[in-house]
Amino acid sequence: MTTSGSVRPLDLRRVQLIRKAVLLVAILSVVALAAITQSIGGETEWHEGLETFGMAAIIICIVGRAWCSLYIGGRKKAEIVDRGPYSVSRNPLYVFSFLGAFGMGAQTGSATIAGLFVLIAVLVFAATVKREEAWLADAFGPTYAAYVARTPRFWPNFSMWRDQEIIEVRPRFFLTTLRDGLVMLLALPLFESLEHFQQIGWLRVLLNLP
């Protein structure tokens, strides 16, 4: 298949770079908001429980993204991958990222901040997916159209699960995805530090959020 249509590989790389830049700016903005807010009631059982649940979400995200990379790593522009997690969702790696975004925001103990993290991830990745889908449709034509017809964009349809006994693993892509996921764990010391700075008066709390 040729890729000489409306969306070129170079365009996809630019989209990925823009996505990362926008995501970084948006996350830093929410972190700044977290620095001047705290959850209602302080460190309640709800606050601590949300943090714990969020940490579990981050771990599931890291493992899930690494699992997805075993199937898709290095193949996205070469073929339509429709086995394993890609048989139930066209973008399972992004779905796990949404879960990770929630987990990061949940480290503030605020459901509002956690929701903002998820909203940012959904908006940014949804825009990226549209460009990727345009490229895939142009590159793979009817094959991709059939895949789209039977597989949800995000929310998994587990009744469509199909797998294969052997997959070709490309360590570089797996390790890169694992590294990117592990970065999410920095949310724990980051937000714990912000809470500490609020407690000792280095940061002023201006707003309480649920």
CB 193 within 8 A of CB 187: no
- Pull the structure tokens for residue 178: 């694992």
| Local confidence band at 170 (pLDDT 50, 70, 90 cut-offs) | confident
pLDDT of residue 6: 53
What residue ranges define each of the domains in the chain, with the CATH number in brackets? 9-209 (1.20.120)
- Please give the Cα distance from 88 to 77 (Å, whole number): 20
pLDDT of residue 77: 73
Q: What is the mean pLDDT of residues 6-25?
A: 70
Give which of 108, 131, 119 is closest to 188, Cα–Cα.
108
3-state helix, strand, coil in the chain (%, to 5): 70, 5, 30
Reported as a single tens digit per residue, the pLDDT across 42-78 is: 778 888 999 999 999 999 999 999 999 999 876 777 7
| pTM more than 0.85 | yes
